[in-house]
Structure 1
C-alpha cells in the first residue's frame, strides 16, 4: 500500500520546507496556531506551483464550525478561488449544534461539496466534536468525501487510537481515516502499527516563538511554530519503511 504524508503549512517558507522534506501532499492554511484558516490568495498562488498536490483549508474564522449564511457564502467564494488557482482540493467541515448534541450540518456540506465539484475533498477535525462518528462517516462517504482527518475525538491521535481503529473499521474502505494531531517521529511507529493508515497528517514543525520586539508587540505568539524540512523527511522515512499488515 502506498502511504501518503500530508503536511500542513501556513507560510511560503513552510510550503518550501514541506516540499524539500519529501511530503506527498500539502494542506495549505493560514494561522495554524488557531487550527488553520483559509490561506491567503498570495499563498494559494505560490502553492499552485508546488510539484505535489495541495489541498486548501476552507475555514473563514477561528472557533467552532456552526456557520452563518454569510460565512457559507464566504466559503463558497473561497472554494471558487482555490479551483481557479488549480489546487487539487479543499478541506471542509460544518456542524450543527443543538439539544446538547453536535452533528454534521448536511445542508451546508452539500453546498460546499457542490461548490467544490471536481476537487478532492477532505472532512476536517470537526468530526472530533461529534459524538456519533460512525453516522458522520456514513454521511461523508455519501457526499463523496475522500478522507476524514481525525484525532479520534481526543487531543492527540495517540490518545484517540481506539476510536480511530473503530472509525477505520466502520469506513471499510469507502474513504480514508487520516490520523492527525500530535504526530511526531516518536508517536508515528505506534500509530502505524495500530492503524496501518493510507494517509497521515502532521505539521512536522518546531517552535518558533519570535524574539525581541516581534514578540513583545504581539506580531508573533509564543505558540508559533515553523515547518521543518528535516522533521518532514524523518516522518516520510518512517512511513516508507513501515511494512504494513500482511
Structure 2
C-alpha cells in the first residue's frame, strides 16, 4: 500500500515564533527518468505531469503510482487537455476523477486551475474541485491560470478565499523575471495569507535576481536540458517532436546552490 502524505507535509511554513523558515524547490517532471533526476539533484517537491511541452497535463495513473514511492512530496497536475483553462462539464468530470486517482495513488496534493471565458478565475468550479481534493486529504496549488486573470489582485483574494495553499505564478508575465514588479506587489497584498511560488523561466542564472527582490519560500522550475533526439524515421512519422527536453540532475543541484548563495 502506498503511504498517504498529510496535507502540508514537506511544504514551506511562514516563519513565526519558533517556526523555521524552510525553502522548497519544486521541480516539474513528466517522465519516470525525470522524476529520478529531480530527486537525485535535490528537489524538495515534485510537480508530476504529462506533456510538459504543452504546459503540463494530468499524468498517467501508472506514473502517479510510481511517484508515490518518492522520498519527497509529489503533487499531480490536474489538467485534462491542452489549450486554455475554460473547461466544459465533461472536463470537470475528468478532473474530479483525476483527483480521486491522485489520492488513491498516495500523492501529497494536486495542482489545478480553471478560468471563465473572460480569463477571471472560475471561482465556483474551483471551490468544488478544491473542496473535493481537501476532503481526500490533498494539498492544493492554484496553477498559472492565475497569470491570465485581468485583475491579479482580485485573483489573489479569490484564491485565498477558496482556501488554496499556494499560487504558482510568474506575476502575469511569460517569465517570472519579467513579472517581478507585480510579484512584489502581490507579496505585499498577500501579507502572508498564502504562499506565492514564482515559476516560469527560472534557471540558475536568473534565480538570484528573483530571490534578491522577493521573500521567497518556494520556487518552481523545470531544470531541463535538451534530450537526445529520437530517430529521424520516428520523427518523420510524427511519433516524436523535433526537439524534446528532460530534467537535469545537475541543473537541479545548481538551482539549489544558487538559491543558497543568493540569501
How far residue 37 of structure 1 moved from its aligned partner, in angstroms, is 0.1
**Cα separation, partners in 2 of 1:223 and 1:168, compared to 1, 3 Å:** farther
Q: Structure 2 length normalisation: TM-score?
A: 0.89
Write the distance in 1 (CA, Å) between the matches of 2:202 and 2:129: 28
SS at match of 1:55: strand
Structure 1 residues not aligned, in runs of 5+:
none
Write the distance in 1 (CA, Å) between the matches of 2:71 and 2:55: 25
Question: Structure 2 matches for 1:98-109, cutoff 5 A?
Answer: 101-109=118-126
Alignment partner for residue 111 of structure 1, among 101, 106, 128?
Answer: 128
Residues 229 and 243 of structure 2 are in contact (CA less than 8 Å); yes or no, is this contact kept in structure 1?
no
How far residue 242 of structure 1 moved from its aligned partner, in angstroms, is 3.2
Residues 25 and 52 of structure 1 are in contact (CA less than 8 Å); yes or no, is this contact kept in structure 2?
yes
1:23 aligns to 2:43 (yes or no) = yes
How far residue 241 of structure 1 moved from its aligned partner, in angstroms, is 3.1
Write the distance in 2 (CA, Å) between the matches of 1:174 and 1:209: 43
Aligned residue in 2 for 1:201: 220
Residues 209 and 221 of structure 1 are in contact (CA less than 8 Å); yes or no, is this contact kept in structure 2?
no
Write the distance in 2 (CA, Å) between the matches of 1:206 and 1:175: 31
SS at match of 2:43: coil
Provide the aligned length of Structure 1 versus Structure 2.
Answer: 240
Aligned residue in 2 for 1:86: 106
Residues 181 and 201 of structure 1 are in contact (CA less than 8 Å); yes or no, is this contact kept in structure 2?
yes
Alignment partner for residue 188 of structure 2, among 162, 169, 174?
Answer: 169
Write the distance in 2 (CA, Å) between the matches of 1:7 and 1:218: 28
Bigger proportion of residues as strand: 1
Alignment partner for residue 158 of structure 1, among 151, 165, 177?
Answer: 177
How far residue 209 of structure 1 moved from its aligned partner, in angstroms, is 5.8
Coordinate RMSD, CA, aligned: 1.1
Aligned residue in 2 for 1:75: 95
Runs of 4+ aligned residues of structure 1 deviating over 6 Å after TM superposition are none
Residues 49 and 77 of structure 2 are in contact (CA less than 8 Å); yes or no, is this contact kept in structure 1?
yes
Write the distance in 1 (CA, Å) between the matches of 2:195 and 2:30: 24
Write the distance in 2 (CA, Å) between the matches of 1:209 and 1:164: 35
Q: Structure 1 length normalisation: TM-score?
A: 0.94
SS at match of 2:258: helix
1:34 aligns to 2:51 (yes or no) = no
Write the distance in 2 (CA, Å) between the matches of 1:151 and 1:209: 29
Write the distance in 2 (CA, Å) between the matches of 1:61 and 1:112: 16
Residues 58 and 79 of structure 1 are in contact (CA less than 8 Å); yes or no, is this contact kept in structure 2?
yes
Aligned residue in 2 for 1:146: 165
How far residue 139 of structure 1 moved from its aligned partner, in angstroms, is 1.2
Write the distance in 2 (CA, Å) between the matches of 1:199 and 1:183: 12
SS at match of 2:83: coil
